[in-house]
Structure formats: C-alpha cells, structure tokens
Amino acid sequence: MLRIGLVMLQGARHSHISALERASSETGIGIEIHELRKASDLESSEPHAIVMPGGESTTMRLTGNDAISSLLPAVFEWIRADQMRPVLGTCAGAILLAEPGDGGGPLVDASVERNGFGSQAESFQAEIDAIALDREFPGVFIRAPRFADIGDDAQVVARLGDEAVGVMTRNRMALTFHPELSQDSGFHEWLLETTAKQWVEA
C-alpha cells in the first residue's frame, strides 16, 4: 500500500483525491491518501509520494509558512531529503516547485512566470501533447503560470503547441495545468507507477 501525501493548504484538492483513486484502480496499485495540513501530519504519515495541488501560490505560501501549520518548510525538507522522491505539482504547486522561496534553490530546473497567459486567456482548455504518457491529454489551464527558462536538468513532459507546459527533474513533475480536472488520470497513474518503482521494487 503506497501512502500518498496530499498538501491541503488551499485550492481544489478533492479532485486530486478522485484522480488518485481512479489512477489506483487503473493501475491496480493500492494507495492510502493522507491529507497534510501541518508539519506533524507529514511526520506521522510518512508518505511515499506527495501531490502539491493548485490554488493561489501567495496564499499557499502564507498559510503553509504560518507557525501553526509550518507545512511548506516540512514538505520542502521532505523533497530535498532524496532527489528521487516522487512529487506531482500542478499549477500553483508547480510554481512552488520551481520557486520554493525558502532560500534552498529550485526543486525542478525551471523558472515560471505567474499568470503567464494573461487576462484574455485566463482559463482555457486545450489538447496537449503529454510526452510523458505518449498521448494527447485534455489540458485544463486556470490562471496558469508559464515556464520562463527551462534548465538542462529538466525534461519536458508536456507541450501545448511548441510551448512546454510540464517539466520533470528526476521524479519531481511540475505541470502548469490541472490534470485532476480531466477524466484522464494518466499523470496520477505516472505518479503511482513511479512511486511503486521507487519504493517497492527498489
């Protein structure tokens, strides 16, 4: 049974729960989802992988760094402890991976521009090329960030036309769209399969 930690700071997290459950039945990989609100939740649940949902990154930084929660520093410490730990960050979660803002350097090798698609196209849906899944994928973009620079240590895992909308550095994947809001649980299946390989078969 894999333990998946879901960062519950703000924003739509419940759709990640359904996407993870669908991914679990698709792959046959059993999971337990642990909702993380405080640093102590991370310690007690000892997750094998973490999902960082979207929301508003400024709000998430505030709530995640307050003295009662202290969840964000604990999550960053958990990720930094082993560069192979599987992490899926979507939208604002991708912003936090690219710019953790804790003085410790980026967790994926890319920089982002917040709300990079501007106000005319604040939110839209488009078929993207999900390179990591080897198929098209329905991309749901909501006030999405845009990757500015992508470094050598990041691999592009999703494209909208010519533009990268997903990158991965080792087992840390940052997507600027919301895979949990589509019916296709492919990226969540990627997380479960990667986690199973990382922890169970290793």
Active site members: 91, 178, 180
Dihedral of alpha carbons 150, 152, 156, 160, sign:
positive
In whole angstroms, what is the distance from residue 168 CA to residue 147 CA? 12
Does the protein bind ligand GLN through residue 159 (CB under 6 A)?
no
Instruction: Tell me which residues in 2-61 interact with ligand GLN (CB under 6 A).
Output: 54-57
CB of 67 to ligand GLN, least distance (A): 22
Q: Looking at 17-25, 34-42, 89-97, 100-108, which segment touches ligand GLN (CB under 6 A)?
A: 89-97
Q: Would you say 113 or 153 has its CB closer to ligand GLN?
A: 113
Does the protein bind ligand GLN through residue 142 (CB under 6 A)?
yes
3-state percent breakdown (helix, strand, coil) of the chain, nearest 5: 35, 30, 35
> Of these, 143, 182, 193, 199, which contacts ligand GLN (CB under 6 A)?
143
| Nearest position to ligand GLN, beta carbon | 54
Does the protein bind ligand GLN through residue 80 (CB under 6 A)?
no
Does the protein bind ligand GLN through residue 122 (CB under 6 A)?
no
Q: Cα–chain-centroid distance for residue 68?
A: 23
Q: Would you say 48 or 172 has its CB closer to ligand GLN?
A: 172
Residue with the two structure tokens 């990154």: 57
Does the protein bind ligand GLN through residue 111 (CB under 6 A)?
no
Closest by CA position to 42, among listed 104, 102, 85: 85
What tokens were used for 51?
Answer: 């999902």
> Of these, 49, 50, 52, 92, which contacts ligand GLN (CB under 6 A)?
92
Q: Would you say 10 or 195 has its CB closer to ligand GLN?
A: 10
CB of 191 to ligand GLN, least distance (A): 18
Q: Would you say 50 or 196 has its CB closer to ligand GLN?
A: 50
- C-alpha neighbours within 13 Å on the C-beta side of residue 182: 21
Burial 7-26 (b: 16+ CB within 10 A, else e): bbbbbebebbbebbebbbee
In whole angstroms, what is the distance from residue 6 CA to residue 23 CA? 15
Site of interaction with ligand GLN (CB under 6 A): 54-57, 91-92, 95, 114-115, 142-143
